[in-house]
Structure 1
């Protein structure tokens, strides 16, 4: 069984300059086109002003309508060999339609990161913050501290985890961006290894001729403001990190970049305190390369952090948390400092921004991480090989995956009936309108 036609069902339109997820989507689309596969990118999301120009890759765009039989006719006419669901929400919306209209298509889920893991960590953090007696104690909480057993227990009682893992079972292959998440699903939730494909970010090489220590200045923080861990990190920077850092380094300056800043983010802009909220960056790597140190006090989250990968590619050392650096460096020393205590975080930031020797050492470590863990050529070869192997073994794997068949039979029926009910309801409203 070969692959000639690909349908990529996007949760949103790809914005590589806005998020790591957007960059990852473009990596896959470019790689599919390199195989000379025909690709259609389709989404129910509204067209965004920062979306990538897919026509340059000869990729057709298709605007979809949610809960509408028009998708059935579209996918039946197109007859894709491979359907990629961008996050499990999309699989829930369209998986049953894809199976009914093109049952022989290989169904692949790109998890991007485990949403249920991120939510579990966020809930644990909230519980820890609620247990604090005052604002000072809350500022000292830099990590959602818990061992794996507590994390698994939090996830296991979550509807989100049940939905997400069910979607993984219903697909022929799921792309995992983090080794921690792959091992968590395999060891704690007993998912079969053949359903999971670990696929890291496929990064370009180190940016050539990035500015040296003397031609950079200050700190930077960057991330999509719509992403809850990023917004929490910005607030934590403003409320906890920055007052302590400025007390020790009164002239310190930080530039905060990120797409879709809400008014409450713009309100944090206080130049007299060295805290500059800049909003969307047209070229994230360009602004990253002008800073000496990237600060990412991520208190919860999942997956691989694109901002920290970009920092290493730009030769910019970073200070982050254990969650921020998770699954990114293996046994190698971090390209900066990992700090899970507030005072350690502040001291590390000041050291890196002011000590050229330590800064250069951190930069070298970041470049080594890129070489060892983010090699584009090997990642591309492994990814295509996994897709082709899943296609070749598709029939055998589906027979082996009885749990997935059972979930498709039961849960997809409920999703199907709900979708059809909404469609009929919408039609009724349309017909009754004068």
Structure 2
């Protein structure tokens, strides 16, 4: 989202960021980029007034839940605005994979036949354009759920320039690192996999090695895993994740479920840190992995140890990472294409909408359910306020 906001500003577009989320100490200061921030309310007609006064040409919804909440209001009061859904990743794919892991079986596409998928894919159909960060997920949407290619646009996580040549080398680095928001289920599962199955094997072969575990919002159950004697060090929040990564020799990401592409692995490549991950972790990024893709615990341990100990292997992995970033994730490869797509879609919005009958049909029907639910909640909240006010009197 930050990359999109910065790109829009670089085009000299007037950009407003509106969110119902509470402010936190870790939030970015968007005013530095001349981006206006607004607090908005869920299930409130106050948004109707706000959006009419602002009258944007393009509205980007960050994830399908925001499209559900505000999409019908935008369509009602600004029918000519281009509605763009930013998925980040397919939540229903991640949820289906998570369910398969919990049940101890292989993932099947039937695992996506869930209420979450119905909601998410309906939001994709309703939107004029949906931004996808994974080509794998674009293919899935088109082949399995018949989403038209004309409603999808590929724009992955991006880096501004080619990887720097002056980075800490093999001898200047030490230890392992893993990183990720603890509130994100795949990240917490990965920490548990490291603690219970992988780190003991790595530590046995490298008795002086340490694993530094970073991430926002570490709960007590995470901090309780900290054990300095075992080299299992739960660090929590880090102000500069890239700096921390650049000091580590190897990044470990034993992801058993998830979706999209993993920012931590793109960041690791950007600072020249080889990684060991899984097929899920590597999905949508590259098969020529800058490190190793492990298919089981034994392979994961062996590759982690080899990368940590073998400088030649490590240097080759770092070079592969540079190639992957340069060929696939440079901003110059994607930014102009996205802007052109948005401008073209906005200019020919009625023509594109006429091509998508399913989109029109879903907006006619499913928008009513989200609209009426929101209005019911709004009415209920207003009634509660009146009751509270009467009680106070």
TM-score, with structure 1 as normaliser: 0.88
User: What do residues 283-315 of structure 1 show as CA deviations (whole Å, max 9, x unaligned)?
Assistant: 111000000000000000000100000100110
Q: In the alignment, which of 361, 365, 370 is matched to residue 406 of structure 1?
A: 361
Alignment of 1:276-355 (within 5 A): 276-329=233-286, 333-355=288-310
Residues in 1 aligned to 2:158 and 2:272: alpha-carbon distance in whole angstroms: 17
2:45 counterpart residue number: 69
Residues in 2 aligned to 1:159 and 1:272: alpha-carbon distance in whole angstroms: 45
2:348 counterpart residue number: 393
Residues in 2 aligned to 1:237 and 1:91: alpha-carbon distance in whole angstroms: 36
1:169 and 2:125 correspond: yes
1:405 positional shift: 1.1
1:260 positional shift: 1.1
TM-score, with structure 2 as normaliser: 0.97
Q: SS of the counterpart of 2:386? A: helix
1:424 counterpart residue number: 379
2:33 counterpart residue number: 57
1:362 positional shift: 0.5
1:248 positional shift: 2.0
Residues in 2 aligned to 1:158 and 1:83: alpha-carbon distance in whole angstroms: 27
User: What do residues 141-193 of structure 1 show as CA deviations (whole Å, max 9, x unaligned)?
Assistant: xxxx44xxx2x2211x2111111110001000000000100000011111111
1:208 positional shift: 4.4
1:377 counterpart residue number: 332
1:68 positional shift: 0.6
1:124 positional shift: 1.0
Q: In the alignment, which of 211, 214, 230 is matched to residue 257 of structure 1?
A: 214
Residues in 1 aligned to 2:44 and 2:146: alpha-carbon distance in whole angstroms: 35
User: What do residues 75-101 of structure 1 show as CA deviations (whole Å, max 9, x unaligned)?
Assistant: 011111000000000000000000001
Structure 2 segments unaligned to the other structure (5+ residues) = none
Q: SS of the counterpart of 1:289? A: helix
1:29 counterpart residue number: 5
1:209 counterpart residue number: 166
1:224 counterpart residue number: 181
Q: SS of the counterpart of 1:432? A: helix
Q: SS of the counterpart of 2:365? A: helix
Q: SS of the counterpart of 1:396? A: helix
Residues in 1 aligned to 2:194 and 2:343: alpha-carbon distance in whole angstroms: 45
Residues in 2 aligned to 1:393 and 1:161: alpha-carbon distance in whole angstroms: 29
CA RMSD of aligned residues (A): 1.0
1:197 and 2:173 correspond: no
Q: SS of the counterpart of 2:259? A: coil
1:10 counterpart residue number: none
1:257 positional shift: 0.4
1:247 positional shift: 1.9
1:425 positional shift: 1.0
1:356 and 2:287 correspond: no
Residues in 1 aligned to 2:158 and 2:310: alpha-carbon distance in whole angstroms: 31
Residues in 2 aligned to 1:293 and 1:226: alpha-carbon distance in whole angstroms: 23
Q: SS of the counterpart of 1:41? A: strand
2:101 counterpart residue number: 125
1:418 positional shift: 1.1
Residues in 1 aligned to 2:241 and 2:164: alpha-carbon distance in whole angstroms: 12
Count of aligned residue pairs for this structure pair: 388
1:355 positional shift: 0.5
Q: SS of the counterpart of 2:251? A: strand
